[in-house]
Amino acid sequence: MCICAASQLFLSNTNKHTHSSVFLFHNPLCTFFPVPPPPTHTPLRVPVVIPHHTEDRPAPHFLSPARLDVTSPCDPECHKTAPRPSYWDLRHLLAYETLHSNGQLTETAIGIYGYNPNSNTSPAYSSGSSGKAERSRIRRKRQIFGHDGRFSIAGQDFLLKYPFSVAVKLSTGCSGTLVGDRHVLTAAHCVHDGKNYVKGAQRLRVGFLKTNPYAPPTNDKMKFQWIRAKRTHVPKGWIKGNANDIGMDYDYALLELKKPHKRRHMKLGVSPPAQRLPGRRVHFSGFDNDRPGQLVYRFCRASEETSDLLYQHCDAQPGASGSGVYARMWDGRRRRWERKVIGVFSGHQWVERQGASQEFNVAVRITPLKYAQICYWIKGNFMDCREG
């Protein structure tokens, strides 16, 4: 039995050996496994993260080009053994900078209330054996793990249908996901290199696929409609770390557009442990550089995890970083399953361990604290952000 209704979708699947277009008589987001029973747990009560005071900061320089990949010397075991940040550490890490479209830069200190450190614990911390088993199966190939399992979404109708319609392109070369009427979630490294804001960040634009109903269904003819970003929020955890040590844990940013985009957006959700995901599967769509002008969709099984990062082998290339990683989640209030963004695809991670290179594709998990922060950035009212 399929979780969602069957539909006909035209997709193009490409790898280094073949290029073929096929008709699939089901939505690729529709996974054929038994519908899981509704969970019995109550909705997670998330903490409160609200701003305390804001100060002006020196204007950025916008000198370096945006990097579309992230490297880190810290592998999953390194992250698992790192000391858990204290309450005061978290207040510093979740403080944030805001870049305004006029070039003004501000820094905001935050307060945290109702925080339970145990609610942010991942089973990964107590499952070292399974982590080693996963690492032993890591395949050493660049970003495409074996057969290329990505699908280029083809066809004018499907590109503008949910959930594909929530994927957007940033003018710095990354991808993003609509998470509000005028808000886009992306990776911090798409706008900030850890030391300063990148070229194009001040005049950052967000591109929406603009299709021509009279044109043939070839993706290389796609064009974008662009909307300027009004504000860009980046957590200090990224600026402090730049993917060193715990910096990668905070590789996320939120863009506020100058005007509403008038498309359906995807809701945020707190990332559950991987074993609680239906089929342990995650999905994301983005604009991979090796398929210019195409929207590329993929799904795969979530494998290893830490409290802040999710490791998987979803095939991807630079350009897809910043995409919202989503899964089917149970909405207890509405008593139904729905897709929610539970992470941000950070990119391909190269790790040197004992002279050998190991590779992962990594997503930043939306923890309860990150959910509270991002939700507040979107809604401006913590009362609307208490349940994840």
Catalytic residue among 171, 321, 323, 346: 321
* Integer CA distances (angstroms), 81 to 85, 124, 126, 247, in order: 12, 11, 11, 15
Give CA torsion, residues 206, 212, 215, 217, to 10 deg: 60
Report CA 211 to chain centroid distance, whole Å: 25
Angle 327-20-286 (CA atoms, 0-180°, nearest 5)? 35
CB 353 within 8 A of CB 75: yes
CA gap 367, 388 in Å, rounded: 9
Contact by Cβ (8 Å): 164, 158 = yes
Task: Give the pLDDT confidence score for residue 33 in this predicted structure.
Answer: 43
Question: Is 132 within 8 Å of 120 (Cβ atoms)?
Answer: no
Return the closest-CA partner of residue 71 out of 347, 303, 366, 356: 347
* pLDDT confidence of residue 169: 95
| Distance (Å) of CA 268 to CA 16, 335, 362 | 35, 17, 18
Closest by CA position to 284, among listed 207, 387, 364: 364
Compute CA distances 19 → 141, 150, 283, 296, whole Å: 20, 12, 22, 14
Which two tokens mark 122?
């991942």
189 a catalytic residue: yes
pLDDT in tens, the chain (388 residues): 444 433 344 455 544 444 333 333 344 444 444 555 555 445 578 899 999 999 999 999 898 888 777 766 677 777 777 788 899 999 999 999 999 999 999 999 999 999 877 655 443 333 333 333 333 333 334 455 556 777 888 777 788 889 999 999 999 999 999 999 999 999 999 999 888 999 999 999 999 988 666 655 554 567 889 999 999 999 999 986 544 445 689 999 999 999 999 899 999 999 999 888 888 899 999 998 888 878 999 998 888 888 899 988 888 888 999 999 999 988 777 888 899 999 999 987 766 666 666 677 889 999 999 999 999 999 999 888 987 6
Residue 285 falls in the annotated catalytic set: no
Which structural domains are found in the chain, ordered by start? 39-385 (2.40.10.120)
- Dist. CA 42–CA 37, nearest whole Å: 14
Which member of 69, 245, 290, 331 is catalytic?
245
Is 290 labeled as catalytic in the residue annotation? no
Q: Which tokens sit at 87?
A: 């309450």
pLDDT at 21: 38
List C-alpha distances in Å: 134 to 223, 277, 308, 360: 40, 17, 18, 11
Q: How many CA within 13 A on the CB side of residue 139? A: 11
How much is the pLDDT for 121?
A: 44
Distance CA 90, CA 307 (A): 14
Task: Classify 39 as helix, strand or coil.
Answer: coil
Taking the C-alpha atoms of residue 386 and residue 45, their distance in angstroms, rounded to an integer, is: 6
The one catalytic residue in 79, 183, 189, 283 is 189
CB-based contacts of 361, cutoff 8 Å, min separation 6: 143, 145, 311, 312, 313, 314, 316, 345, 347, 348, 349
Helix (H, G, I), strand (E, B) or coil at 317: coil
pLDDT, position 83 = 82
Both tokens of 48, joined, read 């409160």
Question: What distances in angstroms separate CA 136 from CA 76, 130, 207, 300, 358, one per listed residue?
Answer: 13, 10, 40, 18, 10
Q: How many CB atoms lie within 10 A of CB 211?
A: 17
